[in-house]
Homo-oligomer: A and B are copies of this chain.
Amino acid sequence: MSVYSNVGISAIEVYFPTRRVKQEDFEEADKRSKGNYTIGLGQIKMAFTGPEEDVISFSKTVVQRLLEKNAVDIQKVGRIEVGTETIVDHSKSIKTYLMEHFLGNPFIEGCDTYNACYGATSALFNAVDYTRLYGKYSIVVASDIAIYGGPSLDARHTGGAGAVAMLITPNAPLVVDLDRKVMSAHVYDFHKPNTSIEFPYVEGKLSTDCYLQALALTHQGIKQLHSSQGKTFSMSNYDYQIFHAPFNKMIMKAHAFLTQLDADQTKTDPTTDLSTIVIPDPKSMTELVKQTKQSFDEKVGPSTLVPRLIGNSYTATLFMSLASILHTEPEEKLNGKSVFCFSYGSGLIAAIWSVKINKGSDEFPLSKLIHNLSNIQTLLDSEIVTTVPEFEAVMKAREDQLNLTHQPFNKNSPQPKDALIYATENPGPVIGSGVFYLKEITHDLRRTYVRKE
Contact = CB atoms under 8 A, between A and B. Distances in A.
A104 interface: yes
A340 interface: no
Contacts of A104: 272
Contacts of A221: 106-107
Chain copies in the assembled complex = 2
A73 interface: no
A445 interface: yes
A99 B118 CA distance: 16
A85 interface: yes
A182 B115 contact: no
Given A87-B195, A132-B1, A151-B444, A93 B107 contact: no
Q: What bracket does the count of chain A residues touching chain B fall in?
A: 35 or more
A161 to B, nearest CB: 16
The DSSP consensus for interface residues of chain A is loop
Interface in A83-124: 85-93, 95-100, 103-116, 118-119, 122
B133 A129 contact: yes
29 contacts: A3-B3, A85-B91, A89-B191, A91-B200, A92-B116, A92-B346, A92-B347, A93-B115, A93-B347, A96-B115, A96-B186, A96-B347, A104-B272, A106-B217, A106-B273, A107-B221, A109-B122, A109-B184, A111-B122, A111-B349, A129-B129, A133-B133, A151-B411, A154-B411, A188-B446, A191-B446, A193-B447, A195-B195, A196-B406
Which 4 residue pairs are nearest across A and B when measured between Cβ atoms? A111-B115, A193-B445, A90-B192, A196-B196
Interface of A: 1, 3, 5, 85-93, 95-100, 103-116, 118-119, 122, 125-126, 129-130, 132-133, 150-151, 153-154, 178, 181-188, 190-197, 200-201, 217, 221, 272-274, 345-349, 351, 405-406, 408-409, 411, 444-447
Given A91-B115, A151-B409, 20 more contacts: A87-B195, A89-B193, A89-B195, A91-B114, A95-B184, A98-B186, A100-B186, A103-B273, A107-B181, A107-B182, A109-B349, A109-B351, A111-B118, A111-B349, A112-B114, A112-B115, A129-B129, A154-B411, A191-B445, A194-B409
